[in-house]
Chains A and B, each alone.
Chain A
Amino acid sequence: KNEVEQSPQNLTAQEGEFITINCSYSVGISALHWLQQHPGGGIVSLFMLSSGKKKHGRLIATINIQEKHSSLHITASHPRDSAVYICAVRSLAGNQFYFGTGTSLTVIP
Chain B
Amino acid sequence: DGGITQSPKYLFRKEGQNVTLSCEQNLNHDAMYWYRQDPGQGLRLIYYSQIVNDFQKGDIAEGYSVSREKKESFPLTVTSAQKNPTAFYLCASSKDRAYEQYFGPGTRLTVT
Q: Name A's B-contacting residues (CB within 8 A).
A: 2, 4, 30-31, 33, 35, 40-45, 48, 86, 88, 90, 94-102
Choose one: B42, B97, B103; the contact of A43 (CB below 8 Å): B103
Is the C-beta of B1 less than 8 angstroms from some C-beta in chain A?
A: no
Measured CB to CB, the nearest residue on chain B to A98 is B42
Choose one: A41, A45, A86, A97; the contact of B108 (CB below 8 Å): A41
| A30 close to B42 (CB less than 8 A) | no
What are 26 residue pairs bridging A and B, where the CB atoms are less than 8 Å apart in the complex? A2-B42, A30-B98, A33-B100, A33-B101, A35-B103, A40-B105, A41-B90, A41-B105, A41-B106, A41-B108, A42-B103, A42-B104, A43-B90, A43-B103, A43-B106, A86-B42, A90-B98, A94-B98, A97-B43, A97-B101, A98-B42, A99-B42, A99-B44, A101-B40, A101-B41, A102-B42
- Could you give, for residues 83-112 of chain B, a 1 whenever the CB lies within 8 Å of some chain A CB and a 0 otherwise? 000001010100001101111111010000
Is the C-beta of B19 less than 8 angstroms from some C-beta in chain A?
A: no
Choose one: B88, B98, B103, B105; the contact of A45 (CB below 8 Å): B103
Is the C-beta of B61 less than 8 angstroms from some C-beta in chain A?
A: no
- Could you give, for residues 55-90 of chain B, a 1 whenever the CB lies within 8 Å of some chain A CB and a 0 otherwise? 000000000000000000000000000000000101
Q: Contact size class for B?
A: 10 to 19
Is the C-beta of B27 less than 8 angstroms from some C-beta in chain A?
A: no
Measured CB to CB, the nearest residue on chain A to B42 is A99
Is the C-beta of B51 less than 8 angstroms from some C-beta in chain A?
A: no
| A45 close to B100 (CB less than 8 A) | yes
| B103 close to A44 (CB less than 8 A) | yes
Residues of B within 8 A of A99 (CB): 42-44
Residues of B within 8 A of A100 (CB): 42
Give Cα A4–Cα B100 distance, bound, in whole angstroms. Answer: 18
| B108 close to A4 (CB less than 8 A) | no
Is the C-beta of B52 less than 8 angstroms from some C-beta in chain A?
A: no
| B42 close to A4 (CB less than 8 A) | yes
Choose one: B40, B92, B97, B104; the contact of A94 (CB below 8 Å): B97
